[in-house]
Each structure stands twice: as C-alpha cells, then as structure tokens.
Amino acid sequence: MTTLKPFADDAASVMIGELTVENGTDRVALYGSIDLTRDKQGLAHARALAALVGEAIQLLEADTSLPDAAPPPVASGTVKNSFE
C-alpha cells in the first residue's frame, strides 16, 4: 500500500502503476494512467488507489471549514540556470 497521507505536505509523491499521485496541502494531483487488470497486480493497484482516495475522502469530510472551491494553483516562478 501507499504511504502518502493526502494533504499532509507539498512534497510527497507516489506511483500506482503508471499513475502518479502528487501531494499538496490544498490539493492532491493524479495524472498518468493505470490499468486495473484482472490479476493480483491489478488487485494490488485497485486496493492502493482505493485506500488513497478513501483517506482523502475521510479527511475532506472531517473538515468542517471546507470552502466551496479551492483557489487555483500558484504558478511556479522561473529559476536562474546555474549552468550558464
């Protein structure tokens, strides 16, 4: 199973199959793809995904001060190339 705790930090990231889950304190991003195949690996992927989404739902439901919508993500700035 995954060790990522949804909304706990802005740095954690895990892969479930080819699906990347990136943590954030105000959002959890999921991108990529995953095949839930009818085998043991597919079952493991399904369980990991269900556990992660289930934990996110529990945390969201427990938060009595949820806004109607989260603000859009902050654009990252440009970093000077240290090799130039």
Report residues of the chain scoring pLDDT below 50: none
How far apart are alpha carbons 36 and 49 in whole angstroms? 10
Measured in degrees and rounded to the nearest 5, phi and psi for residue 31 equal -150, 160
Model confidence, pTM: 0.80
Question: DSSP state, 60?
Answer: H
The whole-number pLDDT of residue 1 equals: 53
